[in-house]
Structure 1
């Protein structure tokens, strides 16, 4: 592995001129604690902490993927850890893929709030082409222009101010947006800050797992609440079940051994099983409302979402492609970056489904 690191370093295309704007030092180091005997131990540790190191030089709490060979930050001071948001290392794209996703959902939430204000009625008069196709019975996802997917539909018919309508509130839709943003933000923070210390890594991993659970649980809320708005028994059973499942997953993830590398497949399977439990309310939805174009369209979106999430879980668990070519995907293209992109794609697909659910009930009530 040392020879692999050496060959990567010698073949690096980053020159001093092109890298001078980066905060991270350009050289990759192997930290040998024996160096401390030649000088001040504290000064020696500080100097080594500011370099990028290889996998073999990492403390145990940072050894998560042996196929990522170089460009690690190890026990950096907090200030330099925060500033490394703007530097190049093997976590840079892990941080930014979900940070950009967070801002995408922040914009979507702001736009949705302008159309579906919390506690108010939808009063817009412009129809979205997506909803026109839904009303006409065309539930084909493929036939919807891509650019139309970025907009929230509005309605010509004002929503009557009745007690029933007030109970069909919008909180499930915004809970989902909040859950998605929390997950993406915690993931970015975890990848940015975990190199600071073992304690920081432990806390951030717990928050990361909580964010994933929050995203999965909140994804169920629009599906269940709006589909079964007029069937409170099934609505409450499904909402309570997935909430308890999510809380149990968070509690299990608090066990320290859970974040060890050998439990990577267990983590993937646990979250996959929680997400797969959505098959039950989706199947129920199709049995009860399969004649409705909204039910067909949302199920199509959910199938695409499941494809994105499922592929992400497989990539995450198998650690491909870096498993095939260790050291070649250290900076870009490794499994966790691909996993992040697939998560954002899946979350956005479910946002589209949530828009249809909300529009359905806003327009018709029960």
Structure 2
């Protein structure tokens, strides 16, 4: 009776892929008898027993390139993923007997061996299906490579070049968002902006240091992670508008600086350095202010430290404004009066403004004493800084000059006066106590008008830089002072003052805890 055809006394047919006992291969010995090389006996405690019979010629039975089926191996691909073999090899005769060995086609074996390489990522069903199709194609194209063991540098690898390219593409695709992921972005942003549980608390749940006049809610709890406070940028609380007004303005000025870099030679033109410094100073105070309002709720120490940093930014901006006005906007008559003292006095008053604000915050000076220590140095610094602009506006008015830069200078003065009024008055929240915890605070309006002042100022300075070169080149040909040195001196003195007071705050808080 033909091999593989069950007859009288023959065992029932075995399913496809299950080995015949007569077929050579590393199958375990179930009854402790002789087994093939490398096949442990199941009743002998895992011992290897010697192979019975002489070794036949040709490749060793069960070698990997023979692609024989193995129990417990990878499952066969489904018909949808790996198509049926077009040709099946003739049944090979066993070496010990004359029976046929049922088995899978070589193309199916290759697909089964290559499939796990593509489906290595857990849960990657799409990758598994694509890998099955690529594996079946690779096996169809290179089935001859399975007849003998591979040689050379590619030994031990069954992936052909197209299959390897597919695998690399599958790996790289994980680093880029898919269309489905991009479609989920609005939902994720909405969840990020939605209020978190306990993201804000009432005024009674935070120390008195954090209280704002007439604001009774919208405070962020203390001692959370830094991630919590950075993510509060997208939450509703009583500092959110203060953060966004200066953060957006800083981004606008960064774009403005990029535009200047395309038209102004900051490196080669020595008269362009004051323009660069005023833009840099403006970005500095805006970013320091945004950081202070965003992160000050971390703890009492960080509340002091970040507002000290805010006052450093204000001092830098004050000197930058004084320098730009002195260099570009000043009239020759006023320059002759103040040239010897203007920059040293501007640097000193900028530092004094920073020191007064930091000391007021450190001592928590109430009422009139606090306003004197904080607002008087700032007022003196602004009076000196704006004096070239005021003189310029007066001369243009008397002479009837039509100068577009003068209009922007007028706007910057008006916006600053409005900002100062809202900063000092704590209005309109005093008229609506408990109603302005998100919008409508006087400090928010102070931020808005200060940003408008800065934008108008930079526009006026840019126009003066372009239109008044013949004037300021003659005035500053032999400058009595190095303005870059005074700018650096202002920054260093202000930073040292803030660091000194931060150290004092840390020491006092440590003593309080002990």
* TM-score, normalisation: structure 1: 0.68
Residues 287 and 82 of structure 1: is their aligned pair in 2 closer, same or farther, counting only changes over 3 Å?
closer
Partner of 1:350: 457
1:251 and 2:399 equivalent?
A: no
Partner of 1:22: 193
TM superposition shift of 1:293: 4.5
1:313 and 2:420 equivalent?
A: yes
Separation in 2 of the partners of 1:236 and 1:113? 31
Moved more, 96-105 or 349-358: 349-358
Q: 1:189 aligns with which of 291, 296, 316?
A: 291
Q: 2:322 aligns with which of 210, 220, 240?
A: 220
Moved more, 244-253 or 197-206: 244-253
- For 1:219-239, what per-residue CA distance to the aligned partner results, in whole angstroms no more than 9, with x for missing partners? 121210134597688435212
TM superposition shift of 1:247: 1.3
Separation in 1 of the partners of 2:315 and 2:452? 17
- For 1:145-192, what per-residue CA distance to the aligned partner results, in whole angstroms no more than 9, with x for missing partners? xxxxxxxxxxxxxxxxxxxxx5xx211111110111001000000000
Residues 110 and 239 of structure 1: is their aligned pair in 2 closer, same or farther, counting only changes over 3 Å?
same
Contact 2:419 2:449 in 1 (8 A): yes
Contact 1:54 1:72 in 2 (8 A): yes
- For 1:90-112, what per-residue CA distance to the aligned partner results, in whole angstroms no more than 9, with x for missing partners? 11111111000000111111101
Separation in 2 of the partners of 1:259 and 1:344? 29
Separation in 1 of the partners of 2:190 and 2:326? 50
Residues 113 and 96 of structure 1: is their aligned pair in 2 closer, same or farther, counting only changes over 3 Å?
same
Separation in 2 of the partners of 1:359 and 1:302? 15
Residues 339 and 259 of structure 1: is their aligned pair in 2 closer, same or farther, counting only changes over 3 Å?
farther
TM superposition shift of 1:360: 2.6
Q: 1:341 aligns with which of 438, 445, 448?
A: 448
Partner of 1:300: 407
Contact 2:233 2:240 in 1 (8 A): yes
Partner of 2:214: 67
TM superposition shift of 1:198: 0.9
Partner of 1:235: 339
1:85 and 2:233 equivalent?
A: yes
Separation in 2 of the partners of 1:314 and 1:260? 21
Higher gyration radius (CA): 2
TM alignment of 1:146-185, pairs within 5 A:
166=270, 169-185=271-287
* TM-score, normalisation: structure 2: 0.49
- For 1:333-362, what per-residue CA distance to the aligned partner results, in whole angstroms no more than 9, with x for missing partners? 211111111111000010011112211344
Separation in 2 of the partners of 1:223 and 1:314? 23
Q: Which runs of 5+ in 2 are unaligned?
A: 1-188, 475-514
Residues 61 and 77 of structure 1: is their aligned pair in 2 closer, same or farther, counting only changes over 3 Å?
farther
Residues 323 and 19 of structure 1: is their aligned pair in 2 closer, same or farther, counting only changes over 3 Å?
farther
Residues 23 and 199 of structure 1: is their aligned pair in 2 closer, same or farther, counting only changes over 3 Å?
farther
Contact 2:325 2:385 in 1 (8 A): no
Partner of 1:58: 206
TM superposition shift of 1:310: 1.3
Residues 338 and 311 of structure 1: is their aligned pair in 2 closer, same or farther, counting only changes over 3 Å?
same
TM superposition shift of 1:246: 0.4
Q: Which runs of 5+ in 1 are unaligned?
A: 1-17, 28-50, 122-165
Q: 2:244 aligns with which of 96, 100, 118?
A: 96
Partner of 2:300: 198
Higher relative contact order (CA 8 A, sep 6+): 1
1:326 and 2:433 equivalent?
A: yes
Q: 2:364 aligns with which of 247, 257, 260?
A: 260
Give the paired residue count: 279
Task: Report the 3-state secondary structure (helix = DSSP H, G, I; strand = E; otherwise coil) of the residue aligned with 1:111.
Answer: helix
